[in-house]
A and B are shown apart, each in its own frame.
Chain A
Amino acid sequence: MAETVFFFIFAIIAVGSAVAVVTLRNPVHSVISLMVCFLQMAALFVLLRSPFLAAVQIFVYVGAVLVLFLFVIMMLDIRQASMERFVSGGHFWVIALLVVLIAEMIFIVSRSKFTNMAVATGSRLDGSVKEMGTALFTKYLLPFEVISLILLVALLGAIVLGKKELR
């Protein structure tokens, strides 16, 4: 089945590049592998029949967020000290926390009732822009306005924080 094959390709590349993000030494390499990971996620959104979200993912993450990261990395000079790989002390508690988290995830996923669910019949979504826009501007109008306010506040905050002198 073509869909399964494509899912495996995208999933394996996504997990591999996510591991690369965490383990690579140079932040620029991490940004590049994060870009690969986000592109795979956009492809997975296409597999899930939501092409609008895939486009938004590429525009916002690859086009804006990662370019911002690259700008900041190249603006600050990365010294050798900041290239150190992992936290020096306190390894034990971090590893213990991660093991607890992994066990918890395995437990929850294996006991879930949703795992062998088929696609619901009835009303079909086509993931089009029209459907999304109608939902955003009628049923979810208040969250939409709140989110635009959040964007405005973030814009102001970034401008104020980026000024030469903080008062």
Chain B
Amino acid sequence: MVPLSWYIILSSVLFIIGTAGVLLRRNILIVLMSVELILNSVNINLVAFSYYLQDLRGQVFSIFVITVAAAEVAVALGILIALVRNRGAINVDDIRTMKG
């Protein structure tokens, strides 16, 4: 029997790795992949709690998270293609039109 804490620790480790990817990398594609990693680590947490509490809500929420992640990737890659087409930038540091 695997204790719940192992799943929590695994998802926190994946969350930290994803956050490190968002903060440290400068390639915008890798930043998007790290965001996917963060969303998936949250999914592991939701499903683990759903199993250990025997409650369906965790699984339902994790389906919603997966859907929102898919929508987010479609829009983000569309923005990325428009950006590369208009100014040829794939580096996060070069994208500062909005002074962010």
Where the two chains meet, the residues of A that have a C-beta atom closer than 8 Å to any C-beta of B are: 1, 3-4, 7, 11, 14-15, 18-19, 21-22, 27, 30-31, 34, 37-38, 41, 44-45, 47-50, 52-53, 56-57, 60-61, 64-65, 68-69, 72-73, 75-76, 78-79, 81-88, 94, 97-98, 101-102, 105, 109, 112, 114-125, 127, 131-132, 135-136, 140, 143, 147, 150-151, 153-155, 157-162, 166
Assembly CA distance A135 to B50 (angstroms): 14
Assembly CA distance A81 to B26 (angstroms): 10
Q: A154, B75: Cβ atoms under 8 Å? A: yes
Q: B59, A132: Cβ atoms under 8 Å? A: yes
Where the two chains meet, the residues of B that have a C-beta atom closer than 8 Å to any C-beta of A are: 1-10, 12-21, 23-27, 29-30, 32-34, 36-37, 40, 43-44, 47-56, 59-60, 62-64, 66-75, 77-82, 84, 86, 90-93
Q: A116, B5: Cβ atoms under 8 Å? A: yes
Q: B17, A161: Cβ atoms under 8 Å? A: no
B-side binding surface: helix, strand, loop or mixed? Answer: helix
Q: A22, B5: Cβ atoms under 8 Å? A: no
Contact of A61 among B4, B12, B17, B36 (CB under 8 A): B36
Instruction: For the complex formed, measure the closest distance between the CB of A18 and the CB atoms of chain B, giving whole angstroms.
Output: 5
Contacting residues, chain A, for B78 (C-beta < 8 A): 157-162
Contacting residues, chain A, for B68 (C-beta < 8 A): 147, 150
Contact of A105 among B5, B12, B44, B62 (CB under 8 A): B12
Contacting residues, chain A, for B62 (C-beta < 8 A): 53
Instruction: For the complex formed, measure the closest distance between the CB of B49 and the CB atoms of chain A, giving whole angstroms.
Output: 8
Assembly CA distance A95 to B36 (angstroms): 21
Q: B59, A158: Cβ atoms under 8 Å? A: no
Q: B63, A136: Cβ atoms under 8 Å? A: yes
Known contacts A22-B34, A81-B91, A119 near B64 by CB under 8 Å: no
Assembly CA distance A155 to B47 (angstroms): 28
Q: A68, B73: Cβ atoms under 8 Å? A: yes
Assembly CA distance A7 to B2 (angstroms): 8
Assembly CA distance A38 to B90 (angstroms): 25
A-B contact pairs, 29 of them (CB 8 A): A4-B1, A18-B18, A18-B37, A21-B17, A21-B21, A21-B30, A22-B25, A22-B34, A27-B29, A30-B33, A37-B40, A44-B7, A44-B47, A45-B47, A82-B91, A86-B24, A87-B93, A97-B23, A98-B16, A119-B52, A120-B53, A121-B54, A132-B59, A135-B56, A154-B74, A158-B74, A161-B78, A161-B81, A166-B82
